[in-house]
Amino acid sequence: MIRRFDGAQSAFHLQTAGTSYLFRVLPTGHLEQLYYGKRIDPESMEELSSLTEKRSFEPGGVIRYDTSTPPLVLEDICLELSSGGKGDIREPFLELVHADGSRTSDFLFEKAEISETKSPFETLPGSCAEDGRAERLTIILRDREYGLTLELSYCVWADCDCITRSARLVNDSGERVEVERLLSLQLDLPDSGYGVTCFHGAWVREMDRDTVSLPAGKFAMESRAGASSSRMNPFFLLHDPRATEDNGTAMGFNLIYSGNHYEAVEVNAYGKTRVVTGMNPQGFRWLLGPGESLEAPEAVMCWSDRGFGGVSRNMHRFVREHIVRGEWKRRPRPVLLNSWEASYFDFTEDTLLSLAGAGKELGVELFVMDDGWFGERSDDTRSLGDWDVNLRKLPGGLKGLSDKLRELGLDFGLWVEPEMVNVNSRLYEAHPDWAMAIPGKPHAEGRKQRVLDLANPAVQDFLIGKMTEVFSSADIRYVKWDFNRIFSDVYSPSLPPERQGETAHRYMLGFYRVMETLTARFPHILFEGCASGGNRFDLGILCYFPQIWASDNTDALSRARIQEGYSFGYPPSVISAHVSASPNHQTLRITPEDTRFHVAAFGLLGYELDLRGLSEEEKRAMSEEIRLYKAWREVFQFGDFCRGRSGNLHEWTCVTPDKSRAAGMLLQELTKPNTQFERYFAKGLEPGARYRFYSGDPGGLYEREDTVASGESLLSAGVKLAPGFGGTGRDGTIRLFLDFSSRLYLMEKI
Ligand code: GLA
């Protein structure tokens, strides 16, 4: 609900099912943030006075905005937006260089509009509702000195306790303005001492979680990689330092954008905390001519007093309901077999078909041909950009292969990496100026490939045309769209020198235009995002790609940590995960097959290994796994994911929204000798309902568990499991829980 209060000035109340967000207009026209937290129900303007900050004097050493009394000191007030230059010396929301060279701006309230629909952004992806309805508040502010308009838009997603916010700057002056920063969200809190939990990493090590406490100063998170990047995910948490998985107050923030991003948490001299998120101002400079406008991406925030788990469940719902869209939004995702770790670049139609046949026997539904099918692509040094099938490998072309797969009863999927080019390619030879490069200057290298200049509309048109041709050339049901290097030598040959600061953002806008067009043209294709694994795992990607390849690391133990990291901000329905060979190709670690299955099952299950050499026993185990996964797919893919214990044990539960079925995993990193006793605690079940709890051990290899307990009991008391091996007396009843072992448990409401 959005409520407007009017008195001498106006105030606004954005209310979700469990939270309230309030701000008011000050007599000067600045916006004062009043409250963000647990839902409250103020009835009148008078009632808001308890939320407003009182002051009677001006402290020494500060700037007073004007001569009014009581004095307004912008540096020490919670603001919805700080324009910078008028005394607020914290992180500004925007930074503009005006035609006269000044960097001071002052945006003041003009009017507000409340509507029940949300129109799409002109240039960017954003949150949406299936029926098009969304409560929206737009605040129009004006810089009266320079003749600029700033629109702040808020959307209330009451069902998931999320509020989104975005901004649009309109230059309705007669002069050009340089935009050096236009962020998406600013949240000022009246206190400090918060913990900030961020998710950082690198290739095959995505989503490591760390917490810093911030009594003073500033903590910044960012990507300058061109992509949102595995180095620092745009999702982060701000919380009571004592908050836990289930208790305490926590806020989650994310950005619907796939390029360079910036997040900062700053504690000012007076103990107030400012949070900002948005496009990274570093390297950004946008020239906004008279009559032009610039949109900032939409950011999302949510608040919960149920700890990190509360934030995660809200964010999961937000992603499932208001980010992922299209035909695949709610459709069960197929169990796939990907050729990459099975054969890398080395395949022919025959070898692919024999691999696919082995997959079909086990129950796989979709076969994905990864890198290596086009041009002269026999390694990663050549042919990116030449999207014509290699007829020596695939004599019948894509159609020939897809027809044969169809005969086998399998759907066909394809790998592409359209945004890149190898110098050793026909595309580069024909259009060297289509790659991002500083003309006449040496270029840094990354995976022996260059980034195409998607800021250039001709390059966008080429990609749309070429991919349309490829996707229509056979019965293609799935596309894995890769992006395998970060930006360097950022320069668009299609833009004049003074506009080079626009390149990285224009690239993203070009990419979104390409995806907007292709997803509209091929609505039946399931698009999976990938960027050397999780180098572009963000909400912008998820607006076009219902799922993302979470990491090139397929080692079960690493994946348990990586997927657990993602789970703080993203639901399992967007996390693609594969069972691969042991020893694992990225870590050389040996892990049991069922552990590899369990971890991948708490996501979108696929296989990525050579299935042709499997023993009969292995084949039986895998086909049983796939059968079980299909029977429980709605739980694993679209259930509510809850984290339990985390550390040496990883304890997960996934529950259907109606709480009738649940699946649980208990994974152990390293064995502790002589510890027989262990419990499994389930979360998210209906407290008063009774459940049958039993082992999800399709191969019948392990000790059996089969009992009945209430949802409440499963949560609070847990199930006391069969005794672990204690060093002596091994027999069939004990739980062999070795290093990297795991168990799957199933729960059904009686
Ligand atoms: C990236 C992807 C892999 C694979 C290779 C192919 O690394 O993340 O899954 O597709 O490219 O070159």
To test the pocket of ligand 1, the residue of 205, 371, 383, 580 to mutate (highest count of ligand atoms within 8 Å of its CB) is 371
Residues 689 and 730 in one domain: yes
pLDDT of residue 512: 98
Looking at ligand 1, which residue's alpha carbon is closest to its atom 8?
532
Q: For 401-426, what is the mean pLDDT?
A: 98
- Name the nearest CA neighbour of 33 among 51, 57, 7, 16: 51
For residue 567, the domain's CATH number is 3.20.20.70
Looking at ligand 1, which residue's alpha carbon is closest to its atom 1?
532
Question: Is the model's pLDDT at 104 over the cut of 80?
Answer: yes
Residue after which a domain boundary falls, among 636, 651, 684: 636
pLDDT of residue 45: 86
On the question of a cis peptide bond just before residue 125, with omega within 30 degrees of 0, the verdict is no
Any domain includes 500 = yes
At residue 9 the predicted structure's pLDDT band, cuts being 50, 70 and 90, is: confident
Contact call for residues 369 and 344 (beta carbons, < 8 A): no
- Name the nearest CA neighbour of 137 among 302, 2, 323, 297: 2
Which stretches of 417-522 are assigned E, i.e. beta strand? 420-421, 450-451, 476-481
Q: Is 482 a catalytic residue?
A: yes
Q: DSSP assignment of 372-406, as one string?
A: --BTT-SSTTB-TT--SB-TTT-TTHHHHHHHHHH
Q: DSSP assignment of 568-598, as one string?
A: TTS-GGGEEEEEE-SS-TTT-----HHHHHH
d(CA 376, CA 23): 60
Question: Is the model's pLDDT at 521 over the cut of 90?
Answer: yes
Question: Is the model's pLDDT at 731 over the cut of 80?
Answer: no
Question: Is the model's pLDDT at 118 over the cut of 90?
Answer: no
Cα–Cα distances in angstroms (integers) from residue 630 to residues 243, 336, 627, in the given order = 37, 12, 5
Any domain includes 376 = yes
Any domain includes 581 = yes
Question: Is the model's pLDDT at 57 over the cut of 90?
Answer: no
Q: Are strands 526-529 and 476-481 parallel, antiparallel or unpaired?
A: parallel
Q: Against a cut of 0.95, is the pTM above it?
A: yes
Residues 615 and 655 in one domain: no
Residue 257's identity, in one-letter code, is Y
d(CA 351, CA 342): 10
Residue 390's identity, in one-letter code, is N
- Name the nearest CA neighbour of 370 among 495, 246, 212, 481: 481
To test the pocket of ligand 1, the residue of 415, 480, 580 to mutate (highest count of ligand atoms within 8 Å of its CB) is 415
CB distance 484 to ligand 1 below 6 Å: yes
Instruction: Of 5-19, 112-126, 602-616, 721-735, give the lowest mean pLDDT range.
Output: 721-735
How much of the chain exceeds pLDDT 90, in percent?
A: 92
Residue 105 belongs to what domain range? 2-322
User: What secondary structure letter does DSSP report for 409?
Assistant: T
Looking at ligand 1, which residue's alpha carbon is closest to its atom 6?
371
For residue 93, the domain's CATH number is 2.70.98.60
Ligand 1 atom closest to the CA of 344, numbered from 1? 6
Residues 27 and 95 in one domain: yes
Any domain includes 554 = yes
Question: Is the model's pLDDT at 730 over the cut of 80?
Answer: no
Question: Is the model's pLDDT at 69 over the cut of 90?
Answer: no
Residues 628 and 647 in one domain: no
Tokens of 635: 């739980």
On the question of a cis peptide bond just before residue 70, with omega within 30 degrees of 0, the verdict is yes
Residues 590 and 679 in one domain: no
CB distance 164 to ligand 1 below 6 Å: no
Contact call for residues 120 and 153 (beta carbons, < 8 A): no
CB distance 552 to ligand 1 below 6 Å: yes
Ligand 1 center–CA 552 separation, angstroms:
7
Q: Is 552 a catalytic residue?
A: yes
d(CA 583, CA 197): 33
- Name the nearest CA neighbour of 541 among 257, 128, 328: 257
Residue carrying the six token digits 């208001």: 322
Mean pLDDT of all residues belonging to the chain = 96
pLDDT of residue 450: 98
Residues 45 and 90 in one domain: yes
Q: DSSP assignment of 196-260, as one string?
A: EEEEE--TT---EEEEEE-SSEEEEEE--SSSS-TTEEEEEEEE-TT--SSSB-EEEEEES-SS-
Segment holding 703, helix H or strand E: none
Q: For 709-713, what is the mean pLDDT?
A: 98
Residues 245 and 296 in one domain: yes
Any domain includes 555 = yes
pLDDT of residue 734: 87
Question: Is the model's pLDDT at 699 over the cut of 80?
Answer: no
Residue after which a domain boundary falls, among 636, 655, 676: 636
CA angle 347, 447, 540 (to 5 degrees): 95
CB distance 530 to ligand 1 below 6 Å: yes
pLDDT of residue 727: 82
Residues 386 and 316 in one domain: no
Q: For 280-306, what is the mean pLDDT?
A: 98
Q: What angle, 0 to 180 degrees and rounded to 10, lies between the N-to-C axes of helices 556-567 and 593-601?
A: 20
Question: Is the model's pLDDT at 728 over the cut of 90?
Answer: no
Question: Is the model's pLDDT at 478 over the cut of 90?
Answer: yes
Sign of the C-alpha dihedral computed for residues 446, 450, 456 and 462 taken in this order: negative
To test the pocket of ligand 1, the residue of 203, 229, 340 to mutate (highest count of ligand atoms within 8 Å of its CB) is 340
* Number of domains present in the structure of the chain: 3
Q: For 175-189, what is the mean pLDDT?
A: 98
pLDDT of residue 40: 97
CB distance 349 to ligand 1 below 6 Å: no
Helix segments in 270-348, DSSP class H: 307-318, 340-343
Ligand 1 center–CA 371 separation, angstroms:
7
Residues 495 and 456 in one domain: yes
Looking at ligand 1, which residue's alpha carbon is closest to its atom 9?
552
Question: Is the model's pLDDT at 186 over the cut of 80?
Answer: yes
Any domain includes 330 = no
pLDDT of residue 296: 98
At residue 303 the predicted structure's pLDDT band, cuts being 50, 70 and 90, is: very high
Residue 611's identity, in one-letter code, is L
CB distance 371 to ligand 1 below 6 Å: yes
346 SS3 class: coil
- Name the nearest CA neighbour of 349 among 307, 386, 302, 402: 402
Residues 281 and 405 in one domain: no
Any domain includes 690 = yes
The predicted-structure confidence for 527-580, as pLDDT tens digits, reads as follows 999 999 999 999 999 999 999 999 999 999 999 999 999 999 999 999 999 999
Q: For 35-58, what is the mean pLDDT?
A: 91
Catalytic residue among 143, 188, 370, 552: 552
Catalytic residue among 482, 538, 640, 697: 482
Residue after which a domain boundary falls, among 636, 671, 706: 636
User: For the chain, percent helix, then strand, then coil, each to nearest 5?
Assistant: 20, 35, 45
At residue 119 the predicted structure's pLDDT band, cuts being 50, 70 and 90, is: confident
Residues 280 and 361 in one domain: no
Question: Is the model's pLDDT at 233 over the cut of 90?
Answer: yes
Residues 300 and 438 in one domain: no
At residue 254 the predicted structure's pLDDT band, cuts being 50, 70 and 90, is: very high
Contact call for residues 547 and 604 (beta carbons, < 8 A): yes
Any domain includes 329 = no
